[in-house]
Structure 1
Amino acid sequence: MRPTRSTELDAVVIGSGPNGLAAAVTLARAGLAVQVVEAQDALGGGTRTVDLGLADGVVHDLCSAVHPMALASPFMREFDLASRVDLLVPEVEYAQPLDGGRAALAYRSVERTADGLGRDGAAWRRLLGPLAADREGLVEIALGDRRSVPRHLVTAARYGLGVLEQGSPAWGVRFRGDEAPALLTGVAAHAITPMPSVPAAGAALMLAGLAHGVGWPIPRGGSQAIADALVADLLAHGGTVVTGMEVMDLDELPRARAYLFDTTPRTLVRVLGSRLPTRTARAFGRYRYGNAAAKVDFVLSGPVPWARPEVGLAGTVHLGGSRAEMAAAEADLVAGRHAERPVVLLSDPAVVDPGRVGAGGRRPLWTYAHVPAGSTVDPTEAVTAQIERFAPGFRDVVVASRAIPAAEMSAHNANYPGGDIAAGAVTLGRVLIGPRMAWDPFGGGLPGVYLCSASAPPGPGVHGLGGWYAARRALRDRFGITRLPSLSPDAARAG
């Protein structure tokens, strides 16, 4: 049912990604009448799991497959996601294959990881050990709202110094071999930004620290389980949802005291139109989008035949070779070129979730390659070749595949313009300031309007924090509610 303009609500959330659902749950838990409006026919945004029709009983994660922040996010901990969704942590958090049958492996244990890095083990331990040991401090500085003063000052200083080192031409001083720097660079590549750079280094130290601190889990059954848990809680607290409705103008939405946009700034400007102050519209109009990911989903007849068998224990594999090779590949994107050997991220969820194996032993394989923004090129061959490089015989286990070029990614999620899965270029300005120069990085330019997507702090990832931070501001500013509602399942049962 489409909402009518005369309908009175407390809040409307546009977009049902993890941030939008986090905002909606928070508002509904506070006793407000909340509606979520989603353009797609299914809820979840970047956490949808679908049957692509490639093989019986095999489903694929349409966007995110592995969730490095699901166990660390303060919102997800308050929501107690781990009690609602079975989050499976692999034996090897992530791996970096290298030529010659070698590979660097990141385990939950810093010590075990360091032991496998030879002469660079001590350097890895010194860089990441303290960050992993103070998980709360790391999350506070890396996943905060960019306006709160950190309390964990020692960890903030260690993180800052590490970012400055790994984000500058001095990034090679710490390491003497090639395995440790390649392992860290594979994590930095998640940012899809030039390397070395401060934003890439910030992502690397945060994600690598969380791998050691809490792990990078894969939800049993697929990422949809996260969205389903959030939607179930929303509905249990009186919230409503509308799907299949692309909002073009504010007049299409019910009247409400607050509107929260789990969208990019581009969509917010379109929906608000001339209502938005010219200065704000221009500021959002200057918001930069970045380079892209192109997706390839495979069906395999068996596990990936890695040259180094231990790579097959990893939930996430970064493919790109050495640090220098990956930096060169990302530089090609900045120049508008397709890298001959692109950076590829890969996940085989059946490594930790045997239930993902379908009839006849068929299993899904999730991959994407970094490409220039708006690329129309089918990435299947480039991805296949990069996997085959480190897993000879991979082509022999491929049963079927389906590609989504970068230019088509926004058809599945409007927050990925041109294939930009980070919902904006990962620049220093965006990381420190937000989507525009304003004291409140979640403000949408009008009273009661908020931006709560990955375009707002703390940026991309399945953590729900953009929605949580924006909802907290809406509760305070629009409804005078300063005491945050409990999000725990026990509180729901008690109510």
Structure 2
Amino acid sequence: MTSTVDAAVVGSGPNGLAAAVTLARAGLRVEMHEAADVVGGGLRCQSYFDGDIRHDVCSAVHPMAAASPFFREFDLTARGVELLAPEVGYAHPLDDGRAGLAFPDLDATCDHLGEDGPRWRQLMEPLLQHSTGLVDFFMGGQRSLPDDLTAPLLLAARLLPRRLLRGFRGDVAPALLTGVAAHAVGRLPTLASDAVALLLGHLAHGAGWPLPRGGSERIAHVMADDLRAHGGTIHTGSRITSLGELRHARAVLLDTGPGQLLDLAGDRLPSLYARQLRRFRYGPGAAKADFLVSEPIPWTNPEVGRAGTVHLGGSHTAIARQEGLTVRGTPTGEPFVLLVDPAVTDPGRARDGRRPVWAYAHVPNGDPRDPVALVRSRIEKYAPGFGDTVLAARGVPARDLDTYNPNYVGGDIGAGAMTLYQSLMRPVARFDPWRTPLPDVFLCSASTPPGPGVHGMCGHLAALSALRHRFGIRRAPSLEPVASAAAR
């Protein structure tokens, strides 16, 4: 017979782990259930072609792992996770061989952008001066104001006129910023995509767009270690199919999407709430391509090879047109592609010259096409000869991505369309969206605010809600490493 626990967490992605860590740190007895054989969700790594070379299965670059309130306090660095900053945060090659480069140093970026440098500085410098307040506003789910009230005002001043790209004279800076906006995976431009561009864009000159040394799994491992250190239990290969299996827990936190919540709850949910969950919208899909290559990517513009992340899509106009077609469900041969060559930043990821290359292509939701040829073609446009370096490749169509992670419906790695409404009201319109009508059940996935990304805040905020409403605990527990807390 299963013993009683305070809380059961279903799903061990970054949000599930953050929820479990928060609850265990509050002194609760926590158990975690993960259907896969290893923890991590979007933080897993795998050796696809060569046992010595690890590929990031989902996420690879982590701006929020350095910036979010959860990880700032959790302190990955103190736990032995090295967040490596690339020489260039992100790069954006254009069709004629020029490229936009976002350096960690704002001055270097503005110098590189020439006549558009002053406009870039005008956008980014005030945000950098109030970066913590801005991140806290975004990551707090917009349910409360940050201590720094200037931050949301600066954001509003840039978003509400809907003139984010106005004032640029050339075409490099608009393309560079649009590549960041495309991380919203939707129609461009929108208020939501502009907000993403400003949030991620300014971080490239602040906390950075780092890669964890050794791969994304390092983040999951230290979170799981902390959970166990505080009495938590992790059950891998444990697929939960009904909430009834967790009746021994006083609270249940689900790192799942709305569809899985409906399946797990059966007929327990009120009909109105269930209808609202069924109306939850999903965005375009991502198709994943992994390559094992024999040498660094032969970019036409060698400066691109210094970047941790590369956006392939051409001009601002071309990206906006392509993303619009993708939202409408029209497949094309020139998708927007995000690419990472991890060994550029973390040379230890390469072995005897062989190295992994990671890429996502934005495609219509549920697109069945194998993305390898599509992505290889897009890379070849800016790096002729890339195909000659490929030793092995594998592709996962958007249609199949939710086989790996059921939260990625149709390949939507954002776990729900990032429209303005759904950025704030996900999965339904509630002041406390992490609570469900079932008093013991909470949702902690990226289908809740603040949405997608490896920041842990969906799980952390859900756990704080559960602590208040189920356990009467209103003080947030410390997340500091034990050694750091003892030293203080």
Q: TM-score, normalised by structure 1?
A: 0.96
Measured against aligned partners, the alpha-carbon deviations of 1:190-226 in whole angstroms (never above 9, x if no partner) come to 1111001111111111001111111011001100000
Q: Which residue of 2 aligns with 1:365?
A: 357
Measured against aligned partners, the alpha-carbon deviations of 1:44-92 in whole angstroms (never above 9, x if no partner) come to 000001111x124111000000011111011001111122211101010
> Shift of the alpha carbon at 1:375?
0.7
- Paired with 1:328 and 1:290, the residues of 2 have a C-alpha distance of 16
Q: Does 1:295 align with 2:288?
A: yes
Question: After the TM superposition, which of the residue ranges 99-108 and 481-490 deviates more from structure 2?
Answer: 481-490
- Paired with 1:80 and 1:493, the residues of 2 have a C-alpha distance of 11
SS in structure 1 at match of 2:204: helix
Letter in 1 for 2:299: W
Task: Specify which of 28, 36, 57 is matched with residue 52 of structure 2.
Answer: 57
- Paired with 1:155 and 1:485, the residues of 2 have a C-alpha distance of 26
> Shift of the alpha carbon at 1:486?
1.4
Letter in 2 for 1:158: L
Gaps of 5+ in 2: none
SS in structure 2 at match of 1:173: coil
> What's the C-alpha RMSD, in Å, of the aligned pairs?
1.4
Q: Is the 8 A contact 2:68 2:136 kept in 1?
A: no
Q: Does 1:136 align with 2:132?
A: yes
Letter in 1 for 2:133: G
SS in structure 2 at match of 1:70: helix
Q: Residues 75-224 of structure 1: matches in 2 within 5 Å? A: 75-84=70-79, 85-165=81-161, 168=162, 170-224=163-217
Question: After the TM superposition, which of the residue ranges 111-120 and 154-163 deviates more from structure 2?
Answer: 154-163
Q: Is the 8 A contact 1:291 1:425 kept in 2?
A: yes
Q: Is the 8 A contact 2:424 2:450 kept in 1?
A: no
Task: Specify which of 341, 344, 368 is matched with residue 348 of structure 1.
Answer: 341
> Shift of the alpha carbon at 1:434?
2.6
SS in structure 1 at match of 2:143: coil
Q: Is the 8 A contact 1:266 1:285 kept in 2?
A: yes
Change over 3 Å in CA distance of 1:120–1:439 after alignment to 2: same
Measured against aligned partners, the alpha-carbon deviations of 1:255-300 in whole angstroms (never above 9, x if no partner) come to 1111111111111111011111111111111111111100000001
- Paired with 1:14 and 1:172, the residues of 2 have a C-alpha distance of 42
Q: Is the 8 A contact 2:285 2:411 kept in 1?
A: yes
> Shift of the alpha carbon at 1:493?
7.5
Q: Residues 217-232 of structure 1: matches in 2 within 5 Å? A: 217-232=210-225
Q: Which residue of 1 aligns with 2:65?
A: 70
SS in structure 2 at match of 1:182: helix
Measured against aligned partners, the alpha-carbon deviations of 1:404-458 in whole angstroms (never above 9, x if no partner) come to 0001111111111110000000111111223101121111221121111111111
> Shift of the alpha carbon at 1:254?
4.8
Letter in 1 for 2:303: E
Q: Does 1:479 align with 2:474?
A: no
- Paired with 2:283 and 2:35, the residues of 1 have a C-alpha distance of 23
- Paired with 2:141 and 2:165, the residues of 1 have a C-alpha distance of 31
- Paired with 2:157 and 2:445, the residues of 1 have a C-alpha distance of 29
Q: Is the 8 A contact 1:265 1:287 kept in 2?
A: yes
Change over 3 Å in CA distance of 1:56–1:361 after alignment to 2: farther
Q: Is the 8 A contact 1:330 1:343 kept in 2?
A: yes
Q: Is the 8 A contact 1:163 1:205 kept in 2?
A: no
Q: Does 1:26 align with 2:22?
A: yes
Q: Is the 8 A contact 2:158 2:164 kept in 1?
A: no
> Shift of the alpha carbon at 1:160?
1.6
Measured against aligned partners, the alpha-carbon deviations of 1:329-348 in whole angstroms (never above 9, x if no partner) come to 10111221113311000001
> Shift of the alpha carbon at 1:117?
0.6
Q: Does 1:455 align with 2:450?
A: no
Q: Which residue of 1 aligns with 2:417?
A: 425
Letter in 1 for 2:395: A
- Paired with 1:179 and 1:445, the residues of 2 have a C-alpha distance of 49
Measured against aligned partners, the alpha-carbon deviations of 1:358-416 in whole angstroms (never above 9, x if no partner) come to 2x311000001000000110111111111111111111111111000001111111111
Q: Is the 8 A contact 1:23 1:471 kept in 2?
A: yes
Q: Does 1:384 align with 2:376?
A: yes
What percent of counterpart residues are identical? 54
Q: Which residue of 1 aligns with 2:40?
A: 44
> Shift of the alpha carbon at 1:245?
2.4
Letter in 1 for 2:440: G
- Paired with 2:75 and 2:166, the residues of 1 have a C-alpha distance of 41
Q: Which residue of 1 aligns with 2:309?
A: 316
Measured against aligned partners, the alpha-carbon deviations of 1:225-272 in whole angstroms (never above 9, x if no partner) come to 000000000011110011122222111225111111111111111101
Q: Which residue of 2 aligns with 1:409?
A: 401
- Paired with 1:198 and 1:244, the residues of 2 have a C-alpha distance of 41
- Paired with 1:161 and 1:340, the residues of 2 have a C-alpha distance of 37
Letter in 2 for 1:354: P
Measured against aligned partners, the alpha-carbon deviations of 1:290-312 in whole angstroms (never above 9, x if no partner) come to 11100000001010011111111
- Paired with 2:322 and 2:128, the residues of 1 have a C-alpha distance of 29
Letter in 1 for 2:57: L
Q: TM-score, normalised by structure 2?
A: 0.97
SS in structure 2 at match of 1:132: helix
